[in-house]
């Protein structure tokens, strides 16, 4: 696996590979890698010639400086995991390679309600920072396919919208959420859970599963109310539990209102904020 720190070096290698007819799949990450991240790399290898991963803890998407500071960093372990997954190239740039001084790179797109609801309410500015770094990384790597996890469903929805707005030919591939055996969605943040909160956290997935069942015969507001109670009973502090259309992210009250319905949740497990989601209905899109 090649490791690049400089944009110019990565691009030089990518140019050669693309000229040789190779297709490039790209999975951007913030490191502290787990099987969820590796599933993106494996998918990229399966569907194309080269898998490129980036590790960059993007300062502009953290609205809470403490969260940025506490974000786990373990580059040696990450490199070993990527080697094992068959990753071809890793891009690990310093901040000034991604944001060269004097260049204004902030994405100024209007995402309408997409970045205003759910995470947008609780993490102001987060999606602007996320869109900016994803756009910058896509401009650098210019992959054929971009691999992202369903785990961050709203993020993926906004990136889909960004790709559409820029008329970009990049194909966005959504990879299913990888979970621990007890159902907890894998996340770099899980490393920070206390033993007590690690035991409580799988209630998030159980609540989502129960919501999927209840939503067959109950309206969303009733399902949401019982889900929030269930999370609180488990010792978690939910911020939202929303049932939304999977494309517009607008609230859905009844099954028949959309073909693609997703329940999205954010909850604090002690000091750690966790998110998860589950598709409640997936019909023809
Ligand atoms: P992050 O390092 O948290 O920014 O995540 C990088 C990419 O990995 C994003 O596309 C995430 O959606 C994806 N990802 C994170 N956790 C999981 C998971 N448990 N299963 C699948 N994909 C994931």
Sorted by where each starts, the structural domains of the chain and their CATH numbers stand as 2-175 (3.40.50.620), 188-277 (3.30.1300.10)
Nearest Cα residue to atom 10 of ligand 1: 148
Could you give the CA distance from residue 218 to residue 213 in angstroms, rounded to a whole number?
9
Catalytic pick from 37, 126, 217, 254?
37
Helix axes 126-141, 153-165, angle to 10 degrees: 60
135, pLDDT greater than 60: yes
- CA-based nearest residue to 94, from 35, 187, 7: 7
In this prediction, residue 174 carries a pLDDT of 97
Q: What is the pLDDT of residues 11-36, one digit of tens each?
A: 999 999 999 999 999 999 999 999 99
Which atom belonging to ligand 1 lies closest to the Cα atom of 152? 12
In this prediction, residue 64 carries a pLDDT of 87
Nearest Cα residue to atom 13 of ligand 1: 149
Q: How far is CA 84 from CA 34, 38, 88, 130, 198, in A?
A: 12, 9, 11, 28, 27
Q: How far is CA 70 from CA 24, 32, 75, in A?
A: 32, 12, 15
Categorize the per-residue pLDDT at 123 as very low, low, confident or very high, splitting at 50, 70 and 90: very high
In this prediction, residue 63 carries a pLDDT of 84
Q: What is the pLDDT of residues 138-157, one digit of tens each?
A: 999 999 999 999 999 999 99
Residue in 30, 36, 179 to alter for ligand 1 test, most ligand atoms within 8 A of Cβ: 36
Q: What is the pLDDT of residues 101-120, one digit of tens each?
A: 999 999 999 999 999 999 99
- Is 126 known to be catalytic? no
126, pLDDT greater than 90: yes
Q: What is the pLDDT of residues 260-276, one digit of tens each?
A: 999 999 999 999 999 99
Distance 78 CA to ligand 1 centre (A): 14
Nearest Cα residue to atom 12 of ligand 1: 149
Q: What is the pLDDT of residues 166-196, one digit of tens each?
A: 999 999 999 999 999 999 999 999 999 999 9
Q: What is the pLDDT of residues 228-255, one digit of tens each?
A: 999 999 999 999 999 999 999 999 999 9
Q: What is the pLDDT of residues 79-93, one digit of tens each?
A: 999 999 999 999 999
Nearest Cα residue to atom 22 of ligand 1: 149
Categorize the per-residue pLDDT at 159 as very low, low, confident or very high, splitting at 50, 70 and 90: very high
210, pLDDT greater than 70: yes
Which atom belonging to ligand 1 lies closest to the Cα atom of 176? 21
Categorize the per-residue pLDDT at 285 as very low, low, confident or very high, splitting at 50, 70 and 90: low
In this prediction, residue 246 carries a pLDDT of 97
Ligand 1 pocket (Cβ < 6 Å) reads 29-30, 36-37, 39-40, 148-149, 151-152, 175, 177-178, 185-188
Distance 148 CA to ligand 1 centre (A): 7
The pLDDT > 70 percentage for the chain reads: 99
């Amino acid at each position: 696996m090649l490791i690049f720190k400089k944009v110019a070096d990565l691009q030089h290698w990518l140019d050669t590979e693309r000229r040789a007819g190779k297709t490039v799949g790209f999975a951007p990450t913030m490191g502290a890698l787990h099987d969820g991240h590796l599933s993106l790399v494996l998918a990229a290898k399966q569907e194309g010639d080269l898998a490129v991963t980036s590790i960059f803890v993007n300062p502009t998407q953290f609205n809470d400086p403490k969260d940025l500071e506490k974000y786990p960093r373990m580059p040696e372990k990450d490199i070993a995991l990527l080697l094992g997954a068959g990753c071809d190239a890793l891009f690990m740039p310093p901040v000034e390679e991604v944001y060269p001084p004097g260049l204004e790179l902030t994405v100024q797109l209007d995402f309408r309600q997409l970045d205003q609801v759910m995470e947008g309410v609780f993490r102001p500015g987060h999606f602007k920072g996320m869109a900016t770094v994803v756009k910058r990384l896509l401009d650098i790597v210019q992959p054929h396919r971009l691999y992202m996890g369903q785990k961050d469903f709203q993020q993926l929805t906004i990136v889909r919208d960004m790709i559409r707005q820029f008329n970009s030919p990049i194909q966005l591939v959504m990879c299913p959420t990888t979970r621990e055996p007890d159902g907890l969605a894998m996340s770099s943040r899980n490393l920070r859970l206390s033993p007590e909160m690690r035991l409580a956290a799988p209630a998030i997935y159980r609540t989502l599963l129960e919501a999927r069942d209840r939503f067959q015969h109950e309206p969303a507001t009733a399902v949401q109310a019982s889900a929030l109670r269930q999370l609180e009973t488990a010792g978690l502090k939910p911020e939202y539990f929303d049932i939304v259309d999977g494309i517009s992210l607008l609230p859905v009250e009844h099954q028949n209102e959309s073909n693609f319905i997703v329940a999205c949740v954010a909850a604090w497990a002690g000091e750690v904020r966790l998110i998860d989601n589950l598709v409640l209905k997936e019909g023809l899109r």
